[in-house]
Structure 1
Amino acid sequence: MNSILDAILSPDSTSADFAALPLPESYRAVTVRRDEAEMFAGVDSRDKDPRKSLHVDDVPVPELGPGEALVAVMASSVNYNSVWTSIFEPLPTFAFLERYGKLSPLAERHDLPYHIIGSDLAGVVLRTGPGVNAWQPGDEVVAHCLSVELESADGHNDTMLDPEQRIWGFETNFGGLAEIALVKSNQLMPKAAHLSWEEAAAPGLVNSTAYRQLVSRNGAGMKQGDNVLIWGASGGLGSYATQFALAGGANPVCVVSSGKKAEICRAMGAEAIIDRSAEGYRFWKDEHTQDQKEWKRLGKRIRELTGGEDVDIVFEHPGRETFGASVYVTRKGGTVVTCASTSGYQHEYDNRYLWMSLKKIVGSHFANYREAWEANRLIAKGKIHPTLSRTYPLDETGQATYDVHRNLHQGKVGVLCLAPEEGLGVRDREKRDRHLDAINLFRDAERSGTDQHSRHAERSGTYKHGRNA
């Protein structure tokens, strides 16, 4: 791995140099283990600790197949699917790997007693398999997490509808929280030249997801002037939705859970902000009964912020806790677009407010290649910015995932894989300088905090500000 890292850090390395590098027999990767899948049996979800289930193991380099690439991973990030994997919910991911392994002899590689997780990366192509022409060794890339076979007609209008559609690093093996990753070549996209490795790795999954969910015709089809209610507007997903709303001429109504998170939304340019903790919203009287008075109170508050208008779109991802309120506050003919269900999958709402007001509920899941490419293009143009707040080394991925599980983070939490420190990989410093405040917005917010994790990171040196990058 040292020779690979040296080649990446050298400004003189060529594609031929990378192609000539010998591949190691093994590499370090973050894994969960099949024989530990029941380790949290009987434990409440909130109390399941990713630091106990995630390991950094030496694993063999996988065989490279047709249409695939091996990528040296400089940095990755933690997503909520990393949390689900680490706590073995809603089921252990080994069921996904076993199903995939039955598809073909090549897919059988993925069915292993360990699962290398992670659905983001920024790095350098090391090898490409037969049939790959668009990418060469030495190319600096990021990867989106859509893995498809495209052997069915169903996927050729929208690849997310392919019956063999999977999320790489969650429903497949050999993910991005590792020193080397195996991807399909049609997952690869150019790395933004003005970003460091860890910054470039942060947007992938959440940026593409937010783009499809909010902007794409496959999602809400947001237009100029729309009022958009965004739950968790400073979080890993919501922070990109907020940026898309602002960049697209819409009016985001940002729901957050603290004054600190409200300040981040203001710094992004949002004006309509609801601090649900300060304003005391409780949408459930008990675990079985929702409080419709709270729905009405939320709707009134929204109209105070929008000049008397209801929201055209609700950007939903908390799920059970908020879904009833989301359906209620949407304007007549409006859209609730939903992905994920971090507070629970069993949604309940009053259907009278849906059917009689001609509202729509649209399900949205990640993004197809075109949507991911467009979302990445906006990153490269400096129209949308990473929301990276904190970075951990690969050995501390368990702590990084714990932070996301317990909502101790802002924006995205990054992981350095091969990169020895933050701030490396910037190629266009002029563009970077123009966008530096936006790039560092979530970092600056993190550093201004006084929470225990910030102090620990500064003391231990796991966080570097990166402004000199």
Structure 2
Amino acid sequence: MQSQTEAKGGSAAPTAADFAALPVPESYRAVTVHKDEAEMFAGLDSRDKDPRKSLHVEDVPVPELGPGEALVAVMASSVNYNSVWTSIFEPVSTFGFLERYGRVSELTKRHDLPYHIIGSDLAGVVLRTGPGVNAWKPGDEVVAHCLSVELESSDGHNDTMLDPEQRIWGFETNFGGLAEIALVKSNQLMPKPDHLSWEEAAAPGLVNSTAYRQLVSRNGAGMKQGDNVLIWGASGGLGSYATQFALAGGANPICVVSSEQKAEICRRMGAEAIIDRNAEGYKFWQDEQNQDPREWKRFGKRIRELTGGEDVDIVFEHPGRETFGASVYVTRKGGTIVTCASTSGYNHEYDNRYLWMSLKRIIGSHFANYREAWEANRLIAKGKIHPTLSKVYSLEETGQAAHDVHRNAHQGKVGVLALAPREGMGVRDHEMREKHLDAINLFRDAPAERTISHSRNV
């Protein structure tokens, strides 16, 4: 499928009416997990569960288009950690989410299927819009954020993330972005940045918006100029955007990474304070039951060496169990620990004396509302924040892509081509792209990892 400005060949670019006249196929290729395979990894340790065995690429029927929705021809998508969770059926099978969503209304019954089309990012072209959609039309080039809300409760009208029916598209709903066609609500759509290719534009959505709310928004840490910000996994999918936001916002990122290759990525982004946790041998747990406060203190001392004697104002947390005790300890008096995930375990333990007696705050942060996602995308479009795409796979290779993310054998984000036949397509503003080409390619040009860390995204 060609977009309206890619189909040149001497003739006028296609119009919205031309796109609306295109026949929508009865089926399309999609990456799925199967309900009858939800127990396939029972008894295995997480690291031994292999997404290549559970993810399928198969033909599925095009879903019915409802009011306020859009069908999008997906040019490219990307793999997030929620795709890994879905593929290994952790912490629970996502089919429970689909069953519950299916009970909300007659229209949502479409989502309760024996297969789950996954993926929470996309860049593509609008094919069809349902009744009540006025802001978007066929032929529009778009990216999608992953917040799905119903907004029939008053609770969600101050912050849509508080809607009781808030879900993550492609994880807690069906018809996700790792496919040739996706079904989204129209209020998930945002303009595709003109200077990026399809695969570059598809990469930031989930992680960029998540990092924006967690670090920049008043709903998160409300970062300000001069703040010292400790960023776990600073070269990873989430951390690479947190690092950029800190640098762009006048803060001082203290980047925690797991190898010299990842440390070099942070240096190339502009960070100066970097801790290679493997090289410096930090081990915050003595065993499965007991943490080691001496390691917290050693870690805090190392941070102060990098900040001129200051403790951190904000901790950008997402590893969870493995790091949370240390995060609470090293935060300055009155500081903030903001958490959006628990990739190393959900049962966090910390010494509450260091929280209550030092008036620290723990803030939970989950994805972003539409406004926050729009602002985060606007910064991408303005060239203030850049995609951190390191590698691109075909749709058929999504299992391998998810496996690599699961094993932390990646830098930044990994992309997946859907309908785009090759990389590099979809660029509209070549002049702007040229200005930012080095930053756009920073993760592509990074040295390859020589070793694989099995600690997830720390």
CA distance in 2, matches of 1:18, 1:223: 45
CA distance in 2, matches of 1:289, 1:147: 39
Q: Assess if the C-alpha contact under 8 Å between 2:175 and 2:183 holds in 1.
A: yes
- AA of the residue aligned to 1:242: T
1:125 is the counterpart of 2:97: no
Show the counterpart of 1:353: 354
Show the counterpart of 1:449: 448
| Runs of at least 5 residues in structure 1 that lack an aligned partner in the other structure | 454-469
Counterpart mapping for 1:405-424 below 5 A: 405-424=406-425
Counterpart mapping for 1:164-313 below 5 A: 164-313=165-314
Q: Assess if the C-alpha contact under 8 Å between 1:196 and 1:426 holds in 2.
A: yes
SS of alignment partner, residue 19 of structure 1? helix
CA distance in 2, matches of 1:352, 1:119: 39
CA distance in 2, matches of 1:227, 1:89: 34
Q: Assess if the C-alpha contact under 8 Å between 1:327 and 1:336 holds in 2.
A: yes
Total equivalences in the alignment: 448
Q: Assess if the C-alpha contact under 8 Å between 1:5 and 1:418 holds in 2.
A: no
Q: Assess if the C-alpha contact under 8 Å between 2:409 and 2:449 holds in 1.
A: no
CA distance in 1, matches of 2:56, 2:389: 23
CA distance in 1, matches of 2:162, 2:218: 15
SS of alignment partner, residue 444 of structure 1? coil
> How far 1:449 moved relative to its partner?
2.5
Show the counterpart of 1:461: none
Q: Assess if the C-alpha contact under 8 Å between 1:339 and 1:364 holds in 2.
A: yes
User: When the two structures are superposed, what TM-score results if normalisation uses the length of structure 1?
Assistant: 0.94
Show the counterpart of 1:102: 103
What is the percentage of aligned positions where both structures have the same residue?
Answer: 86
> How far 1:7 moved relative to its partner?
6.3
SS of alignment partner, residue 441 of structure 1? coil
Q: Assess if the C-alpha contact under 8 Å between 1:312 and 1:334 holds in 2.
A: yes
Q: Assess if the C-alpha contact under 8 Å between 2:98 and 2:173 holds in 1.
A: yes
- AA of the residue aligned to 1:322: T
| Runs of at least 5 residues in structure 2 that lack an aligned partner in the other structure | 453-458
1:428 is the counterpart of 2:426: no
SS of alignment partner, residue 442 of structure 1? coil
SS of alignment partner, residue 294 of structure 1? helix
- AA of the residue aligned to 2:407: R
Counterpart mapping for 1:298-337 below 5 A: 298-337=299-338
SS of alignment partner, residue 246 of structure 2? helix
CA distance in 1, matches of 2:177, 2:200: 15
- AA of the residue aligned to 1:353: Y
CA distance in 2, matches of 1:256, 1:291: 20
CA distance in 1, matches of 2:329, 2:410: 29
Q: Assess if the C-alpha contact under 8 Å between 2:143 and 2:189 holds in 1.
A: yes
> How far 1:17 moved relative to its partner?
1.0
**Compared with structure 1, are the counterparts of its residues 6 and 378 closer, same or farther at alpha carbon in structure 2 (3 Å cutoff)?**
closer
CA deviation profile, 1:105-148 (whole Å, cap 9, x unmatched) = 00000000000000000000000000000000000000000000
Q: Assess if the C-alpha contact under 8 Å between 2:3 and 2:125 holds in 1.
A: no
Show the counterpart of 2:455: none
Runs (4+) of structure 1 exceeding 2 A deviation are 4-9, 448-453
Show the counterpart of 1:41: 42
Show the counterpart of 2:7: 10
CA distance in 1, matches of 2:95, 2:73: 25
> How far 1:260 moved relative to its partner?
0.4
- AA of the residue aligned to 1:88: F
Q: Assess if the C-alpha contact under 8 Å between 2:147 and 2:368 holds in 1.
A: yes
SS of alignment partner, residue 46 of structure 1? helix
User: When the two structures are superposed, what TM-score results if normalisation uses the length of structure 2?
Assistant: 0.97
1:55 is the counterpart of 2:56: yes
Show the counterpart of 1:363: 364
